[in-house]
C-alpha cells in the first residue's frame, strides 16, 4: 500500500516535470497541445497548469488563432520566475552575473579585487554577493543559489579547492569560499563551468572539448553532455600538455607547456585592455601584432589538432581569446587541417557561444539545471 502511494506520487511528480519542461522548451503552447504531445489527459494537464501558474512558474500569454470554436489560451514559462547567481573568482577580479531560467544574463558586474587567502576576503565576497542581489530589485525567494567558479582543482566532493596555482593555494589550505553566502552554494572549476555553459540546453551536441584561452589555458571535456572529471579531478589541464620539447618555461615550472604559447597573456600584458588593444592593432595592420598572432595561431593549431586526434569531437574555443577569434577561425581551421591525418577541413573547430563571463554563467547554470530537473 505504501509502495503504491509512493509510486503514485512519483508519477505525479514526473508528469508535472514533463509538463513544465515542455512549456519551457517552447515559446507558447495550448493546453491541448501539451496533452497531445505528452499523451496525458486534459484534466491532468489542467490541474498541473493551475498549480504551476499559482506558483508563478507559468503564465497565460495571449490566445492562438482559432481554427473554429473558442480560441485556445497560449501558455508560456516565466523565465524570470527563478534566478541564480554566478561568481567567478580570479586572481585579479570578481565577476558576478544573475541569470534567469533561460540562461540569459539579467545583470552583471565586475569588481577589481586581488585574491588573498584571508577571512577578510571571504567576508567581502559575502557582502558583494548580498549587495548584488539586494540591488537587483528581485524577490530574494526567487534566487535558487550562488555558484562559485574558481581557477583550481576541487576535492572529489567539490567542497574544497585542493590546488590552485593561480590563487597560490595548495594542500587544501584555501578559505571556505561559501562561508558568508546565505544561499545554497556550489563550487566548480572555472573552465568546467564555462564548458558546461557551452553545451547547456543544446540537443545536437553530445561530445565536445572546450579549450579555455584566458590568462591561463585550461578546458573541459564533455562526454555525452556530461563533464569528464578524470580520476583526480584533473582532467582537461590542457595548458600543461607539452607542445615543444625543452620549449618556453611555463608558470608551472615545466618547459614547453601549451600555456606558455597560447595563454591570452602571451598577446596582452595580462589585462583585458591589453588584449583589446592587441586585436585593435592587429586589425589596423600592426606588423608586430601580425607576427605575434601568426605564431600564436600556429601553436594553437597544433593543440587543436591534438585534441581532435584524442577525442574525435568538436573543439570549442573559449576564454578571453574566444571572444575575439571568430574572424580568424577559418584561418585556424586551415592550419589545423594541414596537420590532420584524416580530415581535409577543420569544421569541427567552433567558437564559444558565451563570449563573456562564461565561467560565472556556467556555474550559475548548475543551480538552474538542478531546478529544471526537480520542478
Positions touching Zn ion (CB under 5 A) are: 240, 250, 252, 254, 257
In terms of Cβ atoms closer than 10 Å to its own Cβ (0-12, 13-18, 19+), residue 3 is exposed
Could you tell me how far CA 139 lies from the centroid of its own chain? 25
Contacts of 36 (CB under 8 A, 6+ apart): none
Q: Strand pairing partners for 351?
A: 317
Q: How far apart are CA 161 and CA 334, in angstroms?
A: 39
Write down the least CB distance from residue 146 to Zn ion, Å: 31
Q: How far apart are CA 329 and CA 284, in angstroms?
A: 18
Write down the least CB distance from residue 251 to Zn ion, Å: 7
Residue with cell 470554436: 69
Instruction: Answer whether 359's CB lies under 8 Å from 193's CB.
Output: yes
Nearer to Zn ion, 32 or 248 (CB): 248
Nearer to Zn ion, 97 or 217 (CB): 217
Nearer to Zn ion, 218 or 318 (CB): 218
Q: How far apart are CA 29 and CA 23, in angstroms?
A: 7
Write down the least CB distance from residue 260 to Zn ion, Å: 7
Using left for φ > 0, alpha for ψ between -120 and 50, and beta otherwise, residue 109 falls in beta
Q: How far apart are CA 211 and CA 228, in angstroms?
A: 14
C-alpha cell at 149: 567558479
Q: How far apart are CA 94 and CA 190, in angstroms?
A: 12
C-alpha cell at 185: 552554494
Write down the least CB distance from residue 187 to Zn ion, Å: 23
Nearer to Zn ion, 250 or 300 (CB): 250
Instruction: Answer whether 95's CB lies under 8 Å from 357's CB.
Output: yes
Write down the least CB distance from residue 242 to Zn ion, Å: 8
Write down the least CB distance from residue 234 to Zn ion, Å: 13
Nearer to Zn ion, 38 or 241 (CB): 241
Nearer to Zn ion, 209 or 257 (CB): 257
Write down the least CB distance from residue 358 to Zn ion, Å: 22
Nearer to Zn ion, 94 or 243 (CB): 243
Radius of gyration (C-alpha) of the chain in whole angstroms:
23
Write down the least CB distance from residue 268 to Zn ion, Å: 19
Nearer to Zn ion, 52 or 250 (CB): 250
3-state class (DSSP) for residue 121: helix
Write down the least CB distance from residue 332 to Zn ion, Å: 22
Nearer to Zn ion, 130 or 233 (CB): 233
Element (H, E) at 74: strand 73-77
Contacts of 285 (CB under 8 A, 6+ apart): none
C-alpha cell at 258: 601549451
Amino acid at each position: 500500500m505504501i509502495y503504491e502511494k509512493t509510486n503514485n506520487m512519483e508519477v505525479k511528480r514526473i508528469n508535472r516535470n514533463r509538463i513544465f519542461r515542455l512549456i519551457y522548451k517552447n515559446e507558447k503552447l495550448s493546453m491541448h497541445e501539451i496533452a497531445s504531445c505528452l499523451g496525458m489527459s486534459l484534466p491532468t494537464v489542467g490541474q498541473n497548469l493551475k498549480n504551476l501558474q499559482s506558483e508563478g512558474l507559468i503564465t497565460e500569454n495571449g490566445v492562438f488563432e482559432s481554427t473554429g470554436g473558442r480560441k485556445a489560451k497560449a501558455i508560456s514559462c516565466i523565465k524570470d520566475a527563478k534566478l541564480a547567481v554566478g561568481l567567478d573568482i580570479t586572481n585579479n577580479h570578481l565577476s558576478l552575473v544573475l541569470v534567469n531560467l533561460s540562461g540569459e544574463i539579467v545583470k552583471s558586474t565586475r569588481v577589481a579585487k586581488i585574491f588573498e587567502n584571508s577571512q577578510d576576503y571571504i567576508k567581502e565576497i559575502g557582502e558583494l554577493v548580498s549587495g548584488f542581489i539586494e540591488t537587483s530589485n528581485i524577490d530574494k525567494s526567487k534566487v535558487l543559489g550562488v555558484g562559485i567558479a574558481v581557477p583550481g582543482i576541487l576535492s572529489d566532493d567539490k567542497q574544497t579547492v585542493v590546488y590552485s596555482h593561480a590563487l597560490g593555494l595548495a594542500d587544501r589550505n584555501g578559505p571556505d569560499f561559501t562561508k558568508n553566502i546565505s544561499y545554497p552554494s556550489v563550487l566548480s572549476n572555472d573552465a568546467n563551468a564555462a564548458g558546461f555553459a557551452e553545451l547547456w540546453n543544446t540537443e545536437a551536441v553530445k561530445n565536445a572539448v572546450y579549450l579555455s584561452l584566458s590568462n591561463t589555458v585550461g578546458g573541459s571535456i564533455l562526454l555525452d553532455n556530461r563533464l569528464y572529471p578524470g580520476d583526480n579531478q584533473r582532467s582537461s589541464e590542457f595548458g600543461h600538455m607539452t607542445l615543444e620539447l625543452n620549449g618556453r618555461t611555463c608558470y608551472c615550472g615545466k618547459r614547453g607547456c601549451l600555456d606558455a604559447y597560447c595563454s591570452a597573456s602571451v598577446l596582452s600584458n595580462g589585462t583585458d585592455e591589453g588584449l583589446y588593444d592587441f586585436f585593435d592593432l592587429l586589425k589596423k595592420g600592426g606588423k608586430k601584432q601580425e607576427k605575434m598572432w601568426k605564431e600564436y595561431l600556429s601553436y594553437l593549431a597544433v593543440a587543436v589538432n591534438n585534441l581532435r586526434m584524442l577525442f574525435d569531437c568538436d573543439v570549442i574555443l573559449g576564454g578571453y581569446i574566444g571572444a575575439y577569434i571568430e574572424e580568424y577561425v577559418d584561418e585556424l581551421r586551415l592550419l589545423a587541417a594541414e596537420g590532420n591525418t584524416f580530415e581535409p577541413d577543420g569544421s569541427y573547430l567552433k567558437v564559444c557561444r558565451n563570449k563573456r563571463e562564461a565561467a560565472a554563467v556556467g556555474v550559475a547554470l548548475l543551480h538552474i539545471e538542478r531546478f529544471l530537473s526537480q520542478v
